[in-house]
Amino acid sequence: MCLAIPAKVINIVEHSAEVDLMGNSRQVNIDLVADILKPGDYVLVHAGFALERLDESTAQETLALLEEVAAKGEY
Amino acid sequence: MSIKGKAEELLAGIRQLSGEPFKIMEVCGSHTVAIAKSGIRELLPESVQLVSGPGCPVCVTDNSDIDRFLSLAQTPGVIVATFGDMLRVPGSKTSLQAVRAEGADVRVVYSTLDALEISRQNPDKEVVFLGVGFETTIPTVAVSVEIAEREHLSNYSILSMHKLVPPVLELLVTDPEVGLDGFINPGHVCSVLGTAPFEFIAGKYQKPSVVAGFEALDILEAIWMLLRQRQEKRAAVEIQYSRVVKPEGSPKAAEYISRYFEPVDAVWRGIGRVPQSGLRLKAQYRLFDAEMKFDLPKPKSVNTPGCLCGEILKGRRHPFNCRLFGKACTPLQPVGPCMVSSEGSCAAYYRYSQRRGMSAV
Ligand code: SF4
């Protein structure tokens, strides 16, 4: 129930952001994020909310890992 | 290096450090799922043991709380909004799914934002969100109260059955019957709280803990890091999941919890009352508190006969020790909550042991 995944911010309007969540466009609330977000930033998304901003390189690392696992199946 | 190569390297490292018995609790239900799915337990040396913990919010919700929200769902004029995991959890007599079939208005939502939308669209109904979850989810519930207040959504309220992870860990760290040597800390709870609330594991009890991510490789690396601490005769809270978890967490999200909620004693299924491990809305937000709005019954907590869920949540037993596992109790016909939630230990081991053709019992 605590799962959260990285998503890329596409657009921001007031309290919410449109994000790219594993290839799907979603609206998430951004009230919990301290940083000022801009398009291209990465956020950690849980239950419709961005919990925090992620560094781009670390977000990419997570996404690459998720993709690699998805592509190869589990060992 | 490929995933397989990295895994082999980590396993070799773990084998090298194994030696004396070492019992690790993976606190979080999502870790339990990842471990069951990848078969890590079978790959580890015999002396390194993994036991599941209380980190499945649905599983630790006490019977008495379930009976309370079931009575709420059966109240005329009330719409209950809930995460899907709660639907099939059995109370002492029935479940949300069953009362819904009898006409109760129960809506599954993905987010508290959806529950707010239901409130906006049904001004003549009372909408109650079932607040079940840990520190990852609680800030999202706090924001929903903020929005309801801002928009004067007086028909929105929450029933707070939230639980806090550090207080229950403090109880388990000292349980002589389990005898834990180290902890895999919940990654996304720590992404909100940071590591400070987990320092006591090392500081007060001299046991290592590692905040881990949710891929099999993350978990293997965390196990290796725990063993390395033992080897180096030190205890600390370390972060393996540094691509997401910062030592300070997400202070704004954590601050939302303390702004809207205050700690209270809470009953955890199978574990009992844990001091200051639950949350209720602060008095100034009572307009949004379902406890204040409705006259809810205070049923006794009852145990489900034959179900070992409580012992499993404390790390004392494994699902395979339950005589009902896979026989009287399956995900389609769950007897206890550990078989209902997809993150419950019983459900996780049922699903993946079936798939790998392991003997379930
Ligand atoms: S298998 Fe079913 S009855 Fe047994 S402990 Fe798990 S949930 Fe309870």
Q: Which domains does chain B have, with CATH numbers?
A: 60-164+249-293 (3.40.50.11740)
B155: helix, strand or coil? coil
> Which of B 282-301 lie inside 8 A of A, CB atoms?
none
Report the relative pairing of strands B78-82 and A5-13 from DSSP bridges: unpaired
Residue of A nearest to B254 (CA): A32
Running DSSP on this structure, what letter comes out for residue B305?
T
Return the residue matching tokens 């596409």.
A10
Q: Is A49 near chain B, with CB under 8 Å?
A: yes
Q: Specify the pLDDT at position A1.
A: 63
Give the distance between the most distant pair of CA atoms in chain A. 43
User: Residue A69: pLDDT band by 50, 70, 90 thresholds?
Assistant: low
Do A31 and B114 make contact, defined as CB atoms within 8 angstroms? no
ipTM of the complex: 0.84
Among the partner-chain residues B4, B55, B140, the one whose CB lies closest to the CB of A48 is B140
pLDDT at B354: 67
Number of domains composing chain A:
1
Q: Is B83 on the interface with A (CB under 8 A)?
A: yes
The parent domain of residue A56 ranges over 5-72
Give percent above pLDDT 90 in chain A. 49
A75: closest CA of chain B, how far (Å): 6
The CATH number of whichever domain residue A48 belongs to comes to 2.30.30.140
pLDDT band at A58 (very low <50, low <70, confident <90, very high): confident
Helix axes B251-260, B138-150, angle to 10 degrees: 60
Give the residue from B269, B224, B260, B221 showing the smallest Cα distance to B91: B269
Chain A residue numbers touching B132 (CB-CB < 8 A): 1
- Token digits of residue B119: 């409130």
Q: Choose between A41 and A58: higher pLDDT.
A: A41
Between A46, A62, A74, which is nearest B38 by CB?
Answer: A74
Put simply, whether B111 touches A (Cβ < 8 Å) is yes
Mean pLDDT by 10 residues, chain B (361 residues): 84 94 93 90 93 90 91 96 91 90 96 97 98 95 97 97 95 89 94 96 97 93 96 96 92 96 93 94 97 88 84 90 94 88 88 62 36
Q: Is the pLDDT of residue A42 over 90?
A: yes
**Cβ–Cβ of B140/A47 closer than 8 Å?**
yes
pLDDT for the residue numbered B93: 84
How far is it, in rounded angstroms, from Cα B129 to Cα B347? 25
CA distance to partner chain B, nearest, from residue A4 (Å): 7
Q: Which of B35, B164, B244, B252 has the most A C-beta neighbours within 10 Å, making it the best mutation to test the interface with A?
A: B244
Q: How far apart are CA B83 and CA B129, in angstroms?
A: 9
Tokens of A65: 């890992």
pLDDT surpassing 70 at residue A2: no
Strand B182-185 to strand B22-28: parallel, antiparallel, or no bridges (unpaired)? Answer: parallel
Q: Is the CB of B346 under 6 A from ligand 1?
A: yes
Q: What pLDDT was estimated at residue A75?
A: 38
Structure tokens at B324: 């009902």
